[in-house]
Chains A and B, each alone.
Chain A
Amino acid sequence: LIGTYQRISFDDLSDRANAVIFGNQNTAGLVDRAPVAGKAALILWGGSVAVGATVGAGAYYGPAIVESAQIASRMEQAVAEAEINPRTYAQLEKQFAENRAKSIFKALRSSEKTLAEHIGKVDKLQYKSQVEGTIRNVAGNVKTIIKFIQDKGLTWK
């Protein structure tokens, strides 16, 4: 899932948040400190949260995090078209009560990876309806998690 392009900031994050994720002239960012295999996920994670306040307002899956721009675009489209999943939202409430914000951000990162993996495979299948059903659900979960993060005012620490 790692491409050759590396994002160095998000326009809609504050200077401080960008410094935490990407580093600055004085210190390394989390991206630099993460193992190589973890960089993509970290960038994906940061991107979603950054755009969580403006879902649908612009591309937030950069080419550093998925196999191709086409998959990134399809992820964005799937999430934009998805419905909020009320049952997932209720489950997130329980998860948050028990395991706090860290598990919610982890759910977002993991769900986005799952979405990318299914979109990357679906075209190879002769019969697509099963996987398309999963894509719809996971895209809805991504949208729901972002809404949950917004509603609760969660920040990644």
Chain B
Amino acid sequence: MTNYEDVGVYVGLPVRLQGANNLTEVLPKNLSGAIVLLWLGDSSWKTRDLKAMIIRLAEKKPLAIVVAGERTNESFEVLLETLSVIETPDHIMTGVIHHDDSISDFFVATFPDQLRFDDWQEYFVIAVGNQDLQQQIRDLLNKAVK
């Protein structure tokens, strides 16, 4: 069953959005060809939930995980710490989009590891928050992509 929506295309690659009410609800599909943007819309997220989410994401072998949204300094540290201690067969790139950046920074400057470029098939955005937040992200994406 499809649990994401296509919101556009950036430089020939589909951009997909999956909404989730909280981190524990998120169940990503296969992400082995995806550069993933994890947008944390609720500032009350818990470190243990984010760690668990990152581990679940890593198991899907994405090409990159980029965090954005609320408390990005902390979420970026959690991302790096969590990935540094788990075994991943292929390298996962990391990044962060802060409040003073724009979502287009994600699209113009996030690339896979050079050894994994051939696997690149999509951008996948996971918006964690209420319906309003999900709509805001949808609107931002619609402006940033074709």
Contact = CB atoms under 8 A, between A and B. Distances in A.
Given A121-B80, A131-B84, A87 B114 contact: yes
Given A87-B114, A130-B91, A131-B84, A37 B100 contact: yes
Contacts, number: 84
A133 interface: yes
A99 B105 CA distance: 13
B95 interface: yes
Nearest to A91: B111
Given A87-B114, A134-B94, A137-B114, A107 B84 contact: no
Interface residues of B, number: 26
A98 B85 CA distance: 39
Given A121-B77, A121-B80, A85 B109 contact: no
Classify chain A's interface size. Answer: 35 or more
Majority secondary structure, A binding face: helix
B88 interface: yes
A141 B117 CA distance: 13
Contact of A110 (B85, B93, B101): B101
Contact of A130 (B77, B88, B95, B114): B88
Interface in B10-68: 11-12
**Which of B76, B91, B96, B108 has most chain A Cβ within 10 Å?**
B108
A98 B11 contact: yes
Contacts of B108: 95, 99, 103-104, 106-107, 110
Interface string A120-143: 011011111111011001101100
A145 B75 CA distance: 28
A140 B76 contact: no
Contact of B81 (A37, A125, A137, A140): A125
B11 A95 contact: yes
Contact of A125 (B11, B80, B104): B80
24 contacts: A88-B111, A91-B117, A94-B11, A94-B12, A99-B11, A103-B104, A104-B108, A106-B109, A110-B109, A114-B109, A117-B76, A118-B94, A121-B77, A124-B77, A125-B84, A126-B84, A126-B85, A127-B84, A127-B85, A131-B83, A131-B94, A133-B91, A137-B114, A140-B114
Interface of B: 11-12, 76-77, 80-81, 83-85, 88, 91-96, 100-101, 104-105, 108-109, 111, 113-114, 117
Sorted from nearest, which 4 A-B pairs have the closest CB atoms?
A: A110-B109, A87-B117, A37-B100, A110-B105
